[in-house]
Chain A
Amino acid sequence: MITCDAMSERMPAVAAGRSEWSAQEAGHLRTCADCASEWRIVQAGAVLGEGIVPPGSGVLTANLLGRLREEKAQDRRRRFVRSGGLAGLAVAASIMAIVLVRPGAVQPPAPATTVAVLDLPLAELDGAEEADLEEALVEFDVPLADPAAVPDFDGLDATQVERALSAWEES
């Protein structure tokens, strides 16, 4: 006994030419309107687009491989920029530095030496005449204390030195 479900299962294979109806199945198909209509649909589906001719496989393959190669190349460039590019630049900079500082290497021109000038404003001297400035310098050159007034500590013991320093500080 052939069931409609069993017929339905077999239809694609028979429509594709991979199998044939048995005598019993063919008989079922003649007497079952439901299976007969399904068979017509499946047959139409099996040959749907049979006249479609895609581009030659040589052209398709050439285009496909070309696009895949191009994409791989782009990926490599992106990866280089992301990870290796900066490291490469650092290495290149190191090489440049070694080349430039090695003995006998051509040195780049040194920058002009500049000396910072400390500009201390002394407002009270700005308008002074040259003679007044000389006089001020002489005054600055005067020793802080008269050498004769400084006691001779060489011959004193510790108590005498202590007493002399105290008296000097008080004066």
Chain B
Amino acid sequence: MAAMTDLDPPTDAELVARYQSGDERAAAELVGRHAPALARFLHGNGARPGELDDLVQEALFRAFRKLDTWRGEASFRSWLCTIGANLMRDAWRRQKGRQVLSIEDRDIPDAADPHAEAVASEAEERLRAGLATLPRLQREVFLLRAQQGREYDDIAAALGTTPGAARVHYHHAVKRLKELVL
């Protein structure tokens, strides 16, 4: 194991501890470190470009409000992503009460949004459409594994399951995406 030096960047746990003792610069560093990955995760999970900024903001707010519940079993990144995923699920449940949204309506980016058009390549859209048809755990495990590069132990801790179950969800997701996307 490599020895820590003063030049090593602080770990997420150290930044959280610094923020909790009143250092707001630590919060800025955590946000800078994880917000882009959170936005990508939420995009892959089906967030529309128009709602993405608000979702990122709200997920960060919820995470910082309950920082004392983050025990470090899961990485800060995975924990934050699952908070974002739960937030999206809550929002969709509320929307369902007001109007019926098809998966396609929910997941295809707004064509009038030039930013969405720029980022939505054909392959990416096929993958997003395929992901939208997966059960929640399969979709979230796939994104944490393939997009965020997390290990099964970490994914399992973030999603409250076992590493073996996370592995099974991942393989089901890959099998289904092969059928849908390729």
Contacts and interface: CB of A to CB of B under 8 A. Distances in A.
A104 B177 CA distance: 89
Contact of B171 (A8, A16, A44, A57): A8
Interface in A11-61: 11-13, 15-16, 18, 37-38, 40-42, 44-55, 57-58, 60-61
A55 B43 contact: no
Given A48-B127, A60-B57, 6 more contacts: A45-B142, A46-B146, A48-B40, A49-B40, A60-B31, A65-B24
Given A45-B147, A64-B60, A68-B65, A57 B174 contact: no
Interface size class of B (residues with CB under 8 A): 35 or more
Contacts, number: 111
Interface string B45-74: 000010011001100110011000000000
Given A41-B146, A60-B56, A54 B38 contact: yes
Contacts of B182: 37, 40-41
A64 B119 contact: no
A18 B31 CA distance: 23
Nearest to B54: A55
A37 B178 contact: yes
Contact of A45 (B24, B27, B36, B127): B127
29 contacts: A12-B145, A12-B146, A16-B149, A41-B127, A41-B174, A44-B123, A46-B147, A46-B149, A47-B124, A48-B124, A48-B127, A49-B40, A49-B43, A49-B124, A49-B147, A52-B49, A53-B36, A54-B39, A54-B56, A55-B56, A58-B28, A60-B56, A61-B31, A63-B57, A64-B27, A64-B31, A64-B57, A65-B24, A71-B65
A16 B40 CA distance: 14
A67 interface: yes
A44 B44 CA distance: 11
B169 interface: no
B61 A67 contact: yes
A71 B66 CA distance: 12
A57 B146 contact: no
A18 B151 CA distance: 13
Contact of B64 (A45, A52, A68): A68
B31 A45 contact: no
Interface in A104-148: none
A41 B40 contact: no
Contact of A57 (B31, B41, B181): B31
A15 B118 CA distance: 22
Interface in B125-164: 127-128, 142-143, 145-147, 149
B9 interface: no
Contacts of A67: 61
A61 B171 CA distance: 37
Contacts of A18: 149
B32 interface: yes
A64 B65 CA distance: 10
